[in-house]
Structure 1
């Protein structure tokens, strides 16, 4: 029996579920499809990604996967179909470069129009599993952080696997952070008010940058914002089982990522990858940690929060039900994404405040 097309492109994106959407959800529940647990706005984005022709990443070569429609493309497509204009975030951008190991790599600087300089700076590492990392695909996330935190966001390009395997991206991430500290005035900011944020594999990079800053005597970040980070290597964790066939990221995708990013399976023992099992997490700044229900990385994200608290790090952990990995930048369509962006912006703003730095703000929802 063919699956009905659940999207009526004439409806408002926030309208109740159509008959087709209801039937699809019932079929998904019967088949134990993790996407059947998605909120309607999230499910519509995932369905649009399918309609755009995205194939399972685990069935693609890295080159094929990079050419595929992305979740950001699905959001843009739905916004065009619904006639929704892009958000007027009043954030301007310009591109720059930094040096890592003799190679010039890209930076994209996001500056909100409101507020006077010097502004705080957020060094942001996009996702993509160290293989698909792309500044364009994560543009909405960087813009949202800049607008809500009132900070200059410097989004960082790192070398990608399999052309440059582990630890190339990790080395680049630290080099980019050191570059921002050295050139903070050029970005209209202060080296004493620099936070670090990252999404998925970028969340892993962000946490490793904070650890490197502690161990190498660099100015420590004011705050950490970790958005469904890759924090471990145990693929028998509960969320890997529950979300084995989730979209757009599932167990096979994470296996594909490690397969392309690492020289050998033995590298999984490196504490930069097994953060929850082998890393020293003491002495790190207060952290905002977001996880998503329909995400194989959920269990290790929750475990990371526990490990950080055991290390006496202040953590504001928020777990979002009904959304999938990658939801953070979908604020124009997904309501939980807007809430997540508000939380990150609020926590960063509080950390940047002279009297509020390091103090836990907000509550887990």
Structure 2
């Protein structure tokens, strides 16, 4: 049997079973997986659910980000659009799941007013725990609408008020504007918690990608600035270092939806000069003091240039005496978190994070250091 025939027989696109049912691979899925394996593409490791999202996104014809202006990059189809396109293909509704109410508010920063979107479970009665959420997009693209799914899932699952934060984007506002805004939003949430039904004594931080960087930095700034520390930080595939030559950058240089050239473009848009790349706020794993931080949950995806950023962040917090729960998910890519309605491992990851948050808010967090 040839190598291609063997792959088509069933080895491609099949990963370890998940607690949630995955789609069955089609003949096309197996063929695509076999070709990726033969050509050495990192996408050979995709699980079938993740592949279907990326296939739907590809049909929307997104242009390579590094060849675009920031303004045009912000107009490109996103993985969120891929999820919606897949749901449409499957004949399923694309409207947000019921059970969560939103309202728009604003906070003040050095750069003026920025939006926050408050997500509240419909069955809320008393003051609820708060999760301050920072979206991704490399500090340059995306917004609250692009990253709507995660705060909805967290609000509903964790029975918490989620404060989703908008912040100034690069290159119009260069680093460290995003970090200044993120900390201002955190202090605003503490000061105004009761006005939107939140309990200021039970606050956690959660961020994805660039937002994972911001959430980590807000915890550091709270520690250093004598501001009430969050109870927990959840960093999902965080931008935690400026070294673009880690093993995961090499292994996933051509991965989708995030590749190495795209990450280089994000940093080029964000920094003012080369010295910024060595700033502890960007090079967290290389330069930041990680002692005395609250418990962390770090989530990584196998097929992601940022995989090793997250793993190094987990390891260095642990080495600094901190408590970390590290969760790594095979077969999925950057941006999988929040796709729980179409990707089984995303649902698994979201459920695990919700469990971590509920344990923290309930006072039963153990600070596990085991990978799952």
So what's the TM-score if we normalise by structure 2? 0.92
> For residue 348 of structure 1, what is the aligned residue in structure 2?
357
> Could you say which residue in structure 2 is the equivalent of 1:360?
367
- 1:88-107 matches, within 5 Å, as 88-101=97-110, 103-107=112-116
- CA apart distance, 1:342: 0.6
* 1:201 paired to 2:210: yes
Contact 2:22 2:343 in 1 (8 A): no
Whether the 8 Å CA contact 1:161–1:260 is kept in 2: the answer is yes
**Does 2:74 match 1:61?**
no
1:128-148: CA deviation from partner (whole Å, max 9, x where unpaired): 000013100100011111111
- Write the deviation string for residues 21-76 of structure 1: whole angstroms up to 9, x where unpaired: 22111111111111121100101111111111111212221111110111001101
In the alignment, structure 1 segments of 5+ residues that lack a partner are 1-12
Q: Secondary structure at the match of 1:67?
A: coil
CA distance in 2 between partners of 1:225 and 1:116 (Å): 26
Q: Which residue of 2 aligns with 1:7?
A: none
Distance apart, 1:89 and its partner CA: 4.1
1:65-109 Cα offsets, whole Å, 9 max, x none, are 110111001101110110123563401111110000150100000
Q: In the alignment, which residue of structure 1 is the partner of 2:331?
A: 322
DSSP-derived class of the 1:328 partner: coil
Q: Are residues 1:72 and 2:80 paired?
A: yes
Q: Secondary structure at the match of 1:128?
A: coil
Alignment partner of 1:48 is 2:56: yes
SS in 2 for 1:327: coil
Is residue 2:121 matched to residue 1:135? no
**Would you say the 8 A contact 2:324–2:368 is kept in 1?**
no
Gaps of 5+ in 2: 1-20
Q: How many residues align?
A: 351
Q: CA RMSD in A?
A: 1.4
Give the secondary-structure state (helix, strand or coil) at the position aligned to 2:120: strand
Q: What's the TM-score, normalizing by structure 1?
A: 0.93
8 Å CA contact 2:135, 2:164 repeated in 1:
yes
Q: CA deviation at 1:15?
A: 4.2
| Aligned CA distance change for structure 1 residues 362 and 344 (closer, same or farther; 3 Å) | farther
Q: Which residue of 2 aligns with 1:32?
A: 40
Does 2:28 align with 1:20? Answer: yes
Quote the Cα distance in structure 2 between the aligned partners of 1:79 and 1:340.
Answer: 20
Distance 2:139 2:23 in 1: 37
